[in-house]
Amino acid sequence: MKRNLRLGGLRRAGRQLTVAATAMALIALAACTEDESTDDSDVLSPSNPTTLSVWITSAQQAPAPDNKISKLLKDKLGVTLTYEIVTPDNEDQKIGVMLAGGQYPDLIGTGDLKQRFLEGGALRRLDDMLETGAYPNLAAHVKDDIKKMSYSGDEVDKGLYIFPNYNRFYGDITGGTYYGPAFWIQKRVLADAGYPDLSNMTLDRYFQLISDYKAKHPQTNGAPTVGFEILASKGREWGMTNPPALLAGSPNNGGVIVDSNNNASIYADKDVAKNFYKVLNQQYSAGLVDRESFTLTFDQYTAKLATGAVLGMHDQGWNFGTATQSLQSAGKDENTYVPLMPVYDGVTPWYADRPVMNINQGFGVSVSSKQPKKALKFLDTMLSEEWQKTLSWGIAGEDYQVGADGVFSRTDEQRKNYKDITWRSHNRLDALLDMLPKHQGKFSDGNAYSPDDQPAEFYATLSDYDKNFMEKYGKKTWLDFMNKIAENPKYYPAWNIKLSDAANQVNQQVTDTSVQNLPKIIAGKPADFDKNWQAYVDSLHKIDVKVYEDAVNAGIKNRLANW
């Protein structure tokens, strides 16, 4: 009896639960339906607050909660941003999960060269919206380059989906820092060698400089001096695989060299590559190349450069900024790097290119956004000169001064803040700005887009060591150390051509084979070089490289016809 009673009680409780659950479900449903209504206004004002969710791929940190620009956005536009920031290393996995879920934030800032958001139908086609004339800044931004910026594949409708986040220039390109690929060398090496002439640089001279210095100074701050570091960490294998093309006088096209007939072919198995790795092999056995090169992760690589013990490496300027910053803040300017351009005999160097527009990378508006017009209006507003100055320079009077002649300048205190990561998280929106379309080049008042690009500011921020160093070479910027920038080929660059799955797979197989074999070739006995090289070439030829080359060539043809 007793048991039955209890069961009855349970049943009653169960029924009540069911009722409650149904009620909850109904409420939830109601809430959902309410959510379905889209917001059709494109006005951003403080009287009508808006919350926009943004998804960003960036190595930049999220802003602090009390960030002053966040506050400004709220006060002036009524916009609150909720961020999700994913580091580039984790982007691949994250994209798959988001596509499978089918729910996206209002704004998607992607760096994905495989265009998975776009082809997965996550992004809204924006051409029609821009044509309404409600977004004048964006419309002007894309007008001249709309063909380059538009999607031309077959998976979704052709058209404009993503605003490139970098290198759409207004007026002249200014700036003194070099961000491209080079064989870098520490300033102290050149200073020690009496500031030798850097023109007609060859691999032999480059390694001779390093070897002479290392013999004289085997120790750096108590640690053994490292002659040459090879960057070969996951995802950055180009540090090891790209140099042959540059040595052969070809601009950075990734895994291929494109000849004068616009015909692309891989160079990993060619003599230009063989000659380079032969030199590396000899230098390795001479003890100049770091034995730990191939096992370093990217973080370990950066840490090693930051110790100041590494005399040289092949890398791209943007890739080791952290190491340079920490060397500078430790006052070790003589351990920071200058770009050199070694080439094979009789070849004109083509290391520096015209900065390439980051097509397919940047913000798009998601299909699941309930307020697409507001999201687009936000991008448009951010692209106005007023907001661009706020995002890039800061607040006038607080972060920079406007001179009587209208030229922007900063005090030493303001320059110091600009380099301080903690200060930046409270006073700048670095992650957001990383993905936003930008007014690079010059503003209509003649000031450069950012303090780094303002010629007077660039020179003023140089340390005394650097000023003296440049004086010795009679140069004014780091860019002056590079080749004169020629006009890029029309199709350029081949590395951001969107490939089919099959071609991507072949590309990965080539990279894997290189990563597997090149260390053996470099670290092997010089006597075994030919044997090891042959083994590498044999395994390369097992791969169906033509699939990759054909895909790249098709991309080049397409660009030549349409851009």
- Shortest Cβ distance from residue 451 to another protein (Å)? 36
- Which one of 39, 145, 544, 550 is in contact with another protein (CB under 8 A)? 544
Residue 67 main-chain phi, psi, to 5 deg: -55, 135
Q: How far apart are the first and last CA of the chain?
A: 86
φ, ψ for residue 402 (rounded to 5)? -105, 120
**Computed from CA positions of residues 178, 179, 184, 186, in that sequence, does the dihedral angle turn out positive or negative?**
positive
Distances (CA, A) of 146 to 124, 234, 286, 380, 383: 16, 34, 52, 16, 17
99 scored as a contact of another protein (CB under 8 A): yes
Tell me if residue 78 falls in helix, strand or coil. Answer: coil
501 binds another protein (CB under 8 A): yes
Least Å from the CB of residue 500 to another protein: 10
Query: Which tokens go with 344?
Result: 């094979």
- State the minimum distance, in angstroms, from the CB of residue 6 to another protein: 13
What string marks each residue from 183 to 222 as x (binds another protein by CB under 8 A) or -? ----------------------------------------
Spell out the alpha helix ranges (H) of 340-497.
Answer: 372-382, 385-392, 412-419, 421-427, 430-435, 455-461, 464-473
Figure out which of the listed residues 191, 356, 460, 515 binds another protein, where binding follows CB under 8 A.
Answer: 515
CA-only gyration radius of the chain, Å: 27
Asked if residue 244 has a cis previous peptide bond (ω within 30° of 0), the answer is no
Q: Site for another protein (CB under 8 A): which residue of 516, 546, 557, 563? A: 516
HEC string of 12-24 equals HHHHHHHHHHHHH
93 belongs to the binding site for another protein (CB under 8 A): yes
Instruction: Identify which of residues 11 and 291 has a Cβ nearer to another protein in the complex.
Output: 291
CB-CB neighbours of 448 under 10 Å: 25
* Number of residues engaging another protein in binding (CB under 8 A): 39
Determine which residue in the list 250, 322, 328, 505 makes contact with another protein, applying CB under 8 A.
505
Token readout for 153 is 């594949």
Interface residue with another protein among 291, 467, 490, 531 (CB under 8 A) is 291
Residue 539: CB minimum distance to another protein, A: 9
Considering the complex, what minimum distance in angstroms separates the CB of residue 151 from another protein? 14
- The binder of another protein chosen from 2, 143, 484, 542 (CB under 8 A): 542
Binding residue for another protein, selected from 508, 538, 557, 563, defined by CB under 8 A: 508
Three-state secondary structure readout of 136-179: HHHHHHHHHHHHHHCECCCCCCCECCCEECCCCEECCCCCCCCC
**Minimum CB separation from another protein for residue 513, in Å?**
9
The minimum distance between CB 369 and another protein, in angstroms, equals: 15
Q: Does 523 bind another protein (CB under 8 A)?
A: yes
> Minimum distance from CB of 412 to another protein (Å)?
37
User: Following DSSP, what letter does each residue of 361-395 receive, concatenated?
Assistant: -EEEEBTT-S-HHHHHHHHHHHTSHHHHHHHHT-S
Strands 362-365 and 337-340: unpaired
Site pattern 101..130 for another protein (x: CB under 8 A): -x-----------x-xx-xxxx--------
Nearest-approach distance from CB 498 to another protein, in angstroms: 12
Q: Which residues bind another protein (CB under 8 A)?
A: 92-93, 95-96, 99-100, 102, 114, 116-117, 119-122, 155, 223-224, 232, 237, 291-292, 294-295, 501, 504-505, 508-509, 512, 514-516, 518-520, 523, 542-544
